[in-house]
Amino acid sequence: MIYGAEVLTACLEALGVEHVFGLPGTQNLAIFEALRRARLRTVVASDEMAATFMASGYARAGGRLGVVTTISGPGFTYALTALAEARADSTPLLLITLRQHDNGRAFQLQRIDQGAIAAPLVKECVYIDDMARLPEAIFAAARTALRGEPGPVLVEVQAGLMSMQLERVPPLATGGADDRTVTAELPFDEGAFDAVAAAIGSARRPLLLVGQGAQGAAGPIRAWCEAHRIPLLATCSGRGVLPETHPLCLAKDFSYGVGSVSNEVIAAADLVLVLGCKLGHNGSGGYKLRLPAERLIHVDSSREVPGANYPARHTLVATCEEFTHHVQARGIAPQSDWTDAELTDYRERIARERDTAVRHEPRLAEGAGRVREFFDKLNAAHPANTIFVTDSGQNQALTRHYACVNATRGMIAPTDFQSMGFGLPAAIGARLARPEATVIACIGDGGFLQTATELLTAVREGVALTVVVFNDGKFGYIERQQIEQFGVASGTGLGRVDVGGIAEGLGCRHADVTNTAQMPVAPRNEATVFELRLLPTAQLQIEKMKSRLRETSVRVVPSAWMQRAKRMLFRP
């Protein structure tokens, strides 16, 4: 005899799932007992939001399906923010929860309309109330999560099914490798590809812009770029498709805006090929990229993406793996007129532009050096297979700006939903997916306070991790925006955060970075927290002084004189 929950875990094993994230509770005891018996590693987080962020980091770093399980009701609602982040970040997840039996009475325990709540946040809601169709439904949910634009799927299982006793496991049909393969929503369109191939073949100055969808085809893309001297730009999620030390990689992403040089490169290209990128807000620098329709080709696995934000001359619904396969099979070889000298010039000019792009960059504590110097040391101290994971806030902007990414899937950030609390749990998931990689989580003290208990998860699970905490005692990014807009800050102070005490109390090593010239390197066999104490910039101090002056003048100076004073004192 077996329990229904064991059928569920057998389906996950057949799908190639290796890790399941979540929390046990009264409702899902049968699931956790089945997980204990299965060939699956169960990773328990401090709460369901963190567990879902872990599953997201696992999916994005490993290019595979992430699985998280919660109880219904409060466990499910705790996961909602992370579920919305997964949807915005095109992350394939299965959130497996239970649906309590409707007993016909009012005020039932922990019973809410989970499908209605989750519907705007997921690709599909699946309800399973028949054990005979459970395998088929699980495999179909996995296909939905992986195919087209990847995203989360909610799977609700009628609670009684998990403790149901069965004689044997129902047939698992064809739930193996075919269901793990990432494929486009539509069959490959040979006619559309013919038009794309003709345009590429006639190009003389082709340029690639890659997003997260191109990560699975990083090898073929690199080989194609090198064979034909094709330069490449990358969004945040596309970083690492081409190593950033590579001479054909022109820009890292648009963390502080597009700038003028990237658009100058685009203007100099006679064809811009966008691969696996939605061209959303973060992927286009707030839509500041200028991508002329007559020279744009957009390839993506989802039919909803090509041409959605930028009209294109040609569109193709295909995965980047399918696209590069057909490019190789056809021997498509554009004749690149880009010279090494001009590509070097573009790289150098983009680097100079980036150096001047950061406004109000915080200073490190007295004598500790600059944030840039810290990242220079960090980049030099870690190997090419390093994955950077960020939280939301100033830490993300600085990491995206200064980190050098040379590994595929090497920059993982909450992109189009920007959930604070993402960084640390996602880094744990990323390390579990890529145990051979060095994973560095860069987070602020605000995000650290939200998720510091996940350090205990890392210690308990033996997850080696480097955590960098940018500690300024406040929500620094928000404070800066408040001062710039209103002249004063409100609600942003966190007080003194004892990062070291918290880290060591949870079983981690802690090191104060008091001098970037002597920065220690984290061991690869344990979790280590580096703390950077940040001070406000001189420019921000000036803004605060201007604010005080402005408030004083409002109280004591007549309106007409005020206008004259503003023109004299606060001109740009």
Tell me the per-residue pLDDT of 72-122, one tens digit each, with 9 for 90 and over: 999 999 999 999 999 999 999 999 999 988 778 888 888 899 999 999 999
Backbone angles phi, psi at 385, to 5 degrees: -95, 35
Q: Rounded to an integer, what distance in angstroms lies between the CA atom of residue 86 and that of residue 152?
A: 6
Backbone angles phi, psi at 422, to 5 degrees: -75, -40
DSSP letter assigned to residue 26 = G
Q: Rounded to an integer, what distance in angstroms lies between the CA atom of residue 403 and that of residue 394?
A: 14
pLDDT of amino acid 391: 97
pLDDT of amino acid 125: 98
Query: Can you tell me whether residue 528 is helix, strand or coil?
Result: strand
- Answer with the residue of higher pLDDT: 176 or 74: 74
Q: Rounded to an integer, what distance in angstroms lies between the CA atom of residue 114 and that of residue 551?
A: 50
Q: What average pLDDT score do residues 48-70 get? A: 98
Tell me the per-residue pLDDT of 555-569, one tens digit each, with 9 for 90 and over: 555 666 556 655 655
Backbone angles phi, psi at 127, to 5 degrees: -115, 130
Dihedral sign computed on CA atoms, order 11, 13, 17, 21: positive
Neighbouring C-beta atoms of residue 400, cutoff 10 Å: 22
The set of residues, in sequence order, having a beta carbon less than 8 Å from that of 323 and lying 6+ positions away, is: 193, 217, 275, 299, 316
- Is the pLDDT at 550 greater than 80? The verdict is no
pLDDT of amino acid 552: 59
- Answer with the residue of higher pLDDT: 477 or 79: 79
Choose the weakest-confidence range: 254-263, 487-496, 544-553: 544-553
Sole residue written with tokens 């957009």 = 298
pLDDT of amino acid 20: 98
Q: Distance from CA of residue 392 to its chain's centroid?
A: 10
Sole residue written with tokens 């950033």 = 244
Q: Rounded to an integer, what distance in angstroms lies between the CA atom of residue 308 and that of residue 279?
A: 8
Tell me the per-residue pLDDT of 365-397, one tens digit each, with 9 for 90 and over: 776 778 888 898 888 888 789 999 999 998 999
Q: pLDDT tier at 429 (50, 70, 90 boundaries)?
A: very high
For the chain, the first-to-last Cα distance in angstroms comes to: 78
pLDDT of amino acid 177: 39
Closest-CA residue to 400 (of 242, 255, 249):
255
DSSP letter assigned to residue 411 = E
- Is the pLDDT at 123 greater than 90? The verdict is yes
- Answer with the residue of higher pLDDT: 210 or 555: 210
pLDDT of amino acid 180: 43
Do the first three CATH levels of 2-180 and 190-353 match, i.e. the same topology? yes
pTM tops 0.75, yes or no: yes
Q: pLDDT tier at 179 (50, 70, 90 boundaries)?
A: very low
Q: pLDDT tier at 363 (50, 70, 90 boundaries)?
A: confident
In single-letter form, the type of residue at position 501 comes to G
- Is the pLDDT at 283 greater than 50? The verdict is yes
* β-pair type (165-166, 2-3): antiparallel
- Is the pLDDT at 152 greater than 80? The verdict is yes
What share of the chain has pLDDT > 70, as a percent?
Answer: 89
Q: For the purposes of burial, counting CB atoms within 10 Å of the CB of 564, is it exposed (0-12), middle (13-18) or buried (19 or more)?
A: exposed
The CATH number of domain 2-180, selected from 3.40.50.2300, 3.10.20.600, 3.40.50.970, 3.30.70.1520: 3.40.50.970
Neighbouring C-beta atoms of residue 285, cutoff 10 Å: 18
Q: Rounded to an integer, what distance in angstroms lies between the CA atom of residue 421 and that of residue 20?
A: 20
Q: What average pLDDT score do residues 18-46 get? A: 97
Q: Rounded to an integer, what distance in angstroms lies between the CA atom of residue 255 and that of residue 402?
A: 10
* Mean pLDDT value across the chain: 90
Neighbouring C-beta atoms of residue 276, cutoff 10 Å: 31
Q: pLDDT tier at 223 (50, 70, 90 boundaries)?
A: very high
The number of residues making up the chain comes to 572
Topology given in CATH for the domain delimited by 190-353: Rossmann fold (3.40.50)
Q: What average pLDDT score do residues 507-534 get? A: 82
- Is the pLDDT at 305 greater than 70? The verdict is yes
Q: What average pLDDT score do residues 396-402 get? A: 92
Tell me the per-residue pLDDT of 452-475, one tens digit each, with 9 for 90 and over: 999 999 999 999 999 999 999 888
Q: Where are the beta strands (DSSP E) in 61-205?
A: 66-69, 93-99, 124-128, 152-158, 165-166
Rounded alpha-carbon distances, angstroms, from residue 151 to 16, 55, 85, 148: 18, 12, 10, 9
| Domain spans, the chain | 2-180, 190-353, 359-536
Q: pLDDT tier at 543 (50, 70, 90 boundaries)?
A: low
The CATH number of domain 359-536, selected from 3.40.50.510, 3.40.50.720, 3.30.565.10, 3.40.50.970: 3.40.50.970
Query: Can you tell me whether residue 430 is helix, strand or coil?
Result: helix
Dihedral sign computed on CA atoms, order 486, 487, 488, 492: positive
- Is the pLDDT at 324 greater than 80? The verdict is yes
pLDDT of amino acid 369: 77
- Is the pLDDT at 520 greater than 60? The verdict is yes
| Structure tokens belonging to residue 167 | 């004689």
Q: Rounded to an integer, what distance in angstroms lies between the CA atom of residue 307 and that of residue 171?
A: 42
pLDDT of amino acid 178: 41
